[in-house]
Structure 1
Amino acid sequence: MIKALFIRGMLYYDGVSAVEYEWIKALKGRVSYDYALLDPDKSVPEKEAAVKELGCQIYPLRYESSSSLASHKNRERVLRDFLAQRHYDVVHIDTDLLSRYDVAKVAREAGVKKVIIHSHNAMRDLHGIQKIPLVAKLERHLIGKYATDLAACSKEAAKWLFSSKDQAKVRIIHNGIDRAQYTFSKERRQNLRASLGISDDTLVLGNIGRLAEQKNQLFLLDIFKEVTKLTKAKLILIGSGDKEAEIRSKIAKEELTDQVILVKATNQVPDYLFAMDVFVMPSLYEGLPMTLLEAQTSGLPCVISDVISAEMDFPGLIKRVKLTTSPAEWAKVVTDTANKSTFDRKQEAQVLTKIGYDNQESAEQVYQMYVGESK
């Protein structure tokens, strides 16, 4: 039995937590997983409970972070003490942060044989000293130095986190999901729409993700405002984050309170996807967004920004629009896409395995990385 440790900031209703859950479930009996959380107070109890039910131990690691330098030093000290008391065969670091090289460094110094840095996003904003090109270059170099293995959910995510000289070493392991969970159900669609008071003739737009600048929901509200000029519509926004207050304020200002349904992070994601008619994702950047994969598996046509990777497109379900395009033009694409949708939503789930994003396949690739030689 391989003993593996995920080192994360927190467990949340995000794509990475969902992917890890699938790996834990699929590899049960071959890999024993634990979690070390560096920002544990932001975790969601339901997510912690879910992995505990699968046998994972969760260890909250707390440290002072009054400055960037202090954060690095204190994080290293706390993690070093933790790893000195326990044995792990694998440390698996799912991240999009350049600064996580220090976690890999400590794990290597603690004698962990397999230390993986796994990139799950692309084009993350740089902050503070990392805005200096030489600093970012150095941190990418240090990631390659201290990690024994590099992995990424997409080519774009690999290019973002790892240096150009390390690209050949990166394993592309696509995020996988449970196909059965997202196979369309007309009955569940009707039940949820009825519970939300949504009539059959209402066009329902949807978006799932952190309420954050990256996800661009403020611009989505501009798009939705234009959609309401064209047809009877509602918008379902699922998530929470630092832009929530600003989003709520804009909803009120634009007099959209009765038409926008805000939902905190939820375990009912499949039902909400079934209830939607079009998934709209005008993100400023993404790695390989799990919510987009889930939406397509549920048979939803998706209108997304042109910066999002095409690696996991289902044939005929994706329409890309430039971020510089006006909200009115976005709205026209959204309504046209909804009006032209004539496919069988239930059948779309079959595409998941064909394009290589099935959870079982993804988990097997992770296992082979654990037992195989480092590149």
Structure 2
Amino acid sequence: MSDKLKVLLIRGMLYYDGVTSVEYEWIKTLHDRVDYDYVLLDPDKSVPEKEAAVEAFGVHVYPLRYSGRNSFESHRNRVAVVDQFLKKHHYDVVHIDTDLPSRYDMAKVARENGVKRVIVHSHNAMQHLHGIQKLPGFVTYERKQIARYATDLAACSKEAAAWLFNPKDQGRVQIIHNGINRDRYVFAEEKRQATREELGLTADQLLLGNIGRLADQKNQLFLVDIFNELVKSKPQAHLLLIGNGEREADLRAKIKDLGLEEKVTMILSTDKIPDYLFAMDAFVMPSLYEGLPVTLLEAQTTGLPCVISDVISSEMDFEGLIFREDLQAEPAAWAKLIAQVASQASGQDRRQYASQLTKLGYDKQESAEQVYQMYLGK
């Protein structure tokens, strides 16, 4: 009989996002001590290759579907399907990765089914937008329920903790940094050259990049406005967008309307993220909110200068690589800063920055060990 811990991860979907990448590193690093399974609550949006990647480590992925005529009925049906599942399967730990206060219902049903350790783990910081979507009092109630039913509270950053948990519960929160595999992101000049050739770029063309779900949160429509300003002074510049999502059609339409079709490349999915980061000259992230974005961590590890919005956490800044701009600033101001940053960074040794990852505590091994100790209740 296996003496491994049995852990259930509850997510909406497995996707080309930072949380999926972080969970994959936990699974890979801890597979000799933990048997993981997944319950997916929005499985039809899941990416098959991401499911296949975790299944290769023996992980069972269970798609659970529910619906309702309104939010109350959906909530009730979601609880019912997970309740039925937990009555058939035993777990030592239920680990709920979320940015939604309403996911307290998953912690509640887990405790009611006798799961001794139930973790609610915050991976985003949405306070800049939320509050217009729900009455503040109701969000406070949901956060209170999280604290009531979860045995452990965790977050990837202080901002993510402040979003999902009430102020009086902050002392319970364990900050666990999103760790990545450093070796994959050590800059390689030969891969940079090969990838730029694949993209049809010359050695002196400025390449900007953004990686993330094509969604309002990531603000890529504004990024296209920024790029449109930049090409006025840098006509040979190119923009690379990696990711897919609900704003894809809007982005394609805007790119066409601005006459930028030959200057923007969109890649909807790829497993070659490090190679594309090597090829870039600057990483641009004008997000409306973030918790602790893994793609920004990956970009810095490759030595990329990063121009980001002023709402993004400073907990993971590498020295000399982060440049913030006011989210309310005009596209022209962003474009000017990007041009300055890219010019100053030209010719720097990008390999030197990977060592900062470990110093700041974002190496995958350290993060996975923190997660395992939390599973043990230590």
TM-score by length of 2: 0.97
Alpha-carbon distance in structure 1 between the residues aligned to 2:178 and 2:256? 37
Residue 335 of structure 2 is aligned to residue 331 of structure 1: yes
Alpha-carbon distance in structure 2 between the residues aligned to 1:66 and 1:44? 26
Residue 199 of structure 2 is aligned to residue 196 of structure 1: yes
Match in the other structure for 1:148 = 151
Residue 241 of structure 2 is aligned to residue 237 of structure 1: yes
- Matched residue SS, 1:189: helix
Residue 360 of structure 2 is aligned to residue 355 of structure 1: yes
Alignment of 1:154-193 (within 5 A): 154-193=157-196
Residue 139 of structure 2 is aligned to residue 136 of structure 1: yes
Alpha-carbon distance in structure 2 between the residues aligned to 1:312 and 1:133? 29
Aligned residues: 372
Question: What letter matches 1:344 in structure 2?
Answer: D
* 86 and 282 in structure 1: CA distance in 2 versus 1, 3 angstrom threshold: same
Match in the other structure for 2:300 = 296
Alignment of 1:53-64 (within 5 A): 53-64=56-67
Instruction: For residue 219 of structure 1, report the CA deviation from its aligned partner.
Output: 0.8
Match in the other structure for 1:266 = 270
Alpha-carbon distance in structure 1 between the residues aligned to 2:338 and 2:304? 12
Match in the other structure for 1:343 = 348
Question: What letter matches 2:223 in structure 1?
Answer: L
Q: 2:15 aligns with which of 12, 29, 45?
A: 12
Alpha-carbon distance in structure 2 between the residues aligned to 1:266 and 1:71? 33
Instruction: For residue 127 of structure 1, report the CA deviation from its aligned partner.
Output: 7.9
Alpha-carbon distance in structure 2 between the residues aligned to 1:304 and 1:358? 22
Instruction: For residue 76 of structure 1, report the CA deviation from its aligned partner.
Output: 0.6
State which drifts further: 59-68 or 137-146.
Answer: 59-68
Residue 316 of structure 2 is aligned to residue 312 of structure 1: yes
Question: What letter matches 2:372 in structure 1?
Answer: Y
Match in the other structure for 2:371 = 366
Match in the other structure for 2:34 = 31
Q: Deviations over 1:146-205 (max 9, x none)?
A: 111000000000000000110000000000000001111111111111011011110000
Alpha-carbon distance in structure 2 between the residues aligned to 1:23 and 1:305? 29
Instruction: For residue 343 of structure 1, report the CA deviation from its aligned partner.
Output: 2.7
Alpha-carbon distance in structure 2 between the residues aligned to 1:188 and 1:272? 9
Instruction: For residue 65 of structure 1, report the CA deviation from its aligned partner.
Output: 2.8
Match in the other structure for 2:76 = 73
Instruction: For residue 64 of structure 1, report the CA deviation from its aligned partner.
Output: 1.5
Gaps of at least 5 residues in structure 1 are: none
Alpha-carbon distance in structure 1 between the residues aligned to 2:94 and 2:175? 18
Instruction: Report sequence identity in percent.
Output: 64
Deviating above 6 A after TM superposition, structure 1's stretches of 4 or more consecutive aligned residues are none
Alpha-carbon distance in structure 2 between the residues aligned to 1:293 and 1:19? 12
Alignment of 1:103-122 (within 5 A): 103-122=106-125
Alpha-carbon distance in structure 1 between the residues aligned to 2:231 and 2:113? 58
Gaps of at least 5 residues in structure 2 are: none
TM-score by length of 1: 0.98
- Structural RMSD (CA): 1.1
State which drifts further: 16-25 or 65-74.
Answer: 65-74
Alpha-carbon distance in structure 1 between the residues aligned to 2:69 and 2:190? 52
Question: What letter matches 2:148 in structure 1?
Answer: K
- Matched residue SS, 1:168: helix
Match in the other structure for 1:279 = 283
- Matched residue SS, 1:229: helix
Q: Deviations over 1:26-74 (max 9, x none)?
A: 1111111000111111100000000000110011111123211011100
